[in-house]
Structure 1
Amino acid sequence: MTKLNKFISDSGCCSRRKAADLIKDGQVTVNGTITLEPYYEVQEKDAIKVNNKLIQHDTHKLYFLFNKPQDVITTASDPQGRRTVMDFFKRIKSRVFPVGRLDRNTTGVMLVTNDGDLTQKLSHPKFGVSKTYHVTTHKPVTKEHMELLLKGVKLEDGFMKVDKVRRLTQRKNSISVTIHSGKKHVVKRLFKQLRYFVERLDRTRFAGLTKQGLPLGTYRPLLKEEIQKLKDL
């Protein structure tokens, strides 16, 4: 038997963590009755609904690498009618969802899938998934500040440091940083603390996957070996 939050996640509706939130918010029913228990064990004949929509188990897993452009929201839908990541996947019949988030004006590589287990793994802080960003600031970052980024910068929620940092020679105001933290807006907050305004943020690598050869606003299916590497992390 499968726990309720995992069942919803495996259907491609959302991540397991998001499924647990939906359950606790009273948006999930089992056989017509609201349940607030994410670990309820789903029975074979149970009818599971999320926001009154019947959830069916999707056993065919899909994995896509997407190069997100600017001015795109990382959600399934937006009440203000702005473009979302899902607008680029309308041809995909199965329900898929993005792994993690990129800010509206942050560009770059992200994974889109209906594999709830993998989403949970890649999103959980304990796995320390590596991410690389190209950061363009309003002025060149000093050598001292680059060294400080490696040592650690005090933020409101504790010390934070990057794993790698290097200057991009083709752009004097741009550097590359690699970080494994999943904290919200952590890259922008690091530079803000050092008195830099981030003009452009582009994620070039996520969990070993790069956007090389993938134009903005396009996606491709992952290769079998790429999927296996993600599962082996």
Structure 2
Amino acid sequence: MEDYSSKPCLSSLIRLNKFISNAGVCARREADQLIQSGCITVNGTVVQKVGTRIPIDAVVAYKGVTLHIEKLRYILLNKPRGYVTTVQGPEGRKTVLDLISKRYCAERIYPVGRLDYDTTGLLLLTNDGDLARKLSHPASRVEKLYHVVLNKPIQVEHLQLLQEGLLLEDGLAKVDRVAIVAQDPTQVGVVIHMGKNRIIRRMFGHLGYLVDKLDRVGYAHLTKQRIPRGKWIFLKDQAVRRLKNLV
């Protein structure tokens, strides 16, 4: 196989894993695995060397299907209840992608992180695999703001425990900030960067509460203001740049 990285005009080259990611297949790390597995061809020849650079106009195929670099899309959705945050819904359940019209976004996008079936609120979807991976990594410490409605008033000492940390079955879990909302002790605002599965419901459950409603109202600097439930918007360039500057 020709070593494209030895070409002198590096400005016209792109890393193969980035090409695959920009084509909407997966993030770069997963793209490296596809390359190593022998699923990728460049100009008809299998390439298995991670780090390979290729001409931007090379013909890249995944399992025989030619890939094309897509326009990068960044969508902010106000998720309603009753939708799963996956590309394909198990047992015929509706997915968040069912809410995004192909008429306006033909690119293959996917959710960044997850909101469970009954949780509502802000969800970012994109085909920018690099950004999705960085935002999802624990080291990014992206803050999420949740509005939590409990089945009974929360005790003041439990607010402190949530910030100090609770020992759950999968380790220590704690919030960044927590406060009662609108002087109603059944409503709590929680800021957290931890991304463990169902972490907020499990933390309150550990303290003896049931979460009746859980709504993500903030993600990094983004809010769901002016986005009705079940609707979405394309993020403006400035908002995208701010997200990228976080990571």
Q: Under TM normalisation by the shorter chain, which class is it?
A: 0.7 to 0.9
Report the alpha carbon displacement of residue 4 of structure 1 after superposing the two structures with TM: 4.7
Structure-2 residue corresponding to 1:179: 192
> Any stretches of 5+ residues in structure 2 without a counterpart?
1-12
Aligned partner of 2:24 in structure 1 is 12
Residues 87, 95 of structure 2: 8 Å contact kept: yes
CA distance in 2 between partners of 1:199 and 1:222 (Å): 30
Contact 1:13 1:97 in 2 (8 A): no
**1:121 match: secondary structure:** helix
Q: Matched residues in 2 for 1:144 and 1:20: separation?
A: 48
Write the distance in 2 (CA, Å) between the matches of 1:12 and 1:61: 9
2:108 corresponds to: 95
| TM-score between both structures, scaled by the size of structure 2 | 0.81
Distance 1:116 1:98 in 2: 10
- What is the letter of the counterpart of residue 43 of structure 1? I
Does 1:72 pair with 2:77? no
Aligned residue in 1 for 2:69? 57
1:113-152 correspondence runs (5 A)? 113-152=126-165
CA distance in 1, matches of 2:229, 2:157: 34
SS for the counterpart of 2:241 is: helix
The CA distance in 2 between the partners of 1:74 and 1:204, in whole Å, is 17
Identity across aligned pairs (percent)? 41
- The structure with the larger Rg is 2
Cα distance in 1 for partners of 2:126, 2:106 equals 12
**1:203 has 2:216 as partner:** yes
* Structure 2 residue matching 1:228: 3-state secondary structure: helix
Shift of 1:29: 3.9
Greater CA drift, 175-184 or 8-17: 8-17
1:72-131 deviation line (CA, Å, top 9, x unaligned): 111122252221111112221122221111111110001112212211221111110000
Letter aligned with residue 242 of structure 2: K
Secondary structure of the corresponding residue to residue 205 of structure 2:
helix
Correspondence for 2:121: 108
Check conservation: 1:96, 1:114, Cα contact below 8 A: yes
Quote the RMSD (CA, aligned, Å).
Answer: 2.6
Q: Structure 1 pair 80/215, CA: closer, same or farther in 2 (3 Å)?
A: same
2:204 aligned counterpart, secondary structure: helix
Alignment of 1:14-33 (within 5 A): 14-17=26-29, 19=31, 23=34, 28-30=39-41
* TM-score of the aligned structures, taking structure 1 as reference length: 0.86
The CA deviation at 1:9 is 2.2
Matched-pair contact (CA < 8 Å) for 1:109–1:210: yes
CA distance in 2 between partners of 1:15 and 1:100 (Å)? 13
Unaligned runs of 5+ in 1: none
Count of paired positions:
229
CA contact (8 A) 2:15 2:54 kept: no
Q: Secondary structure at the match of 1:111?
A: strand
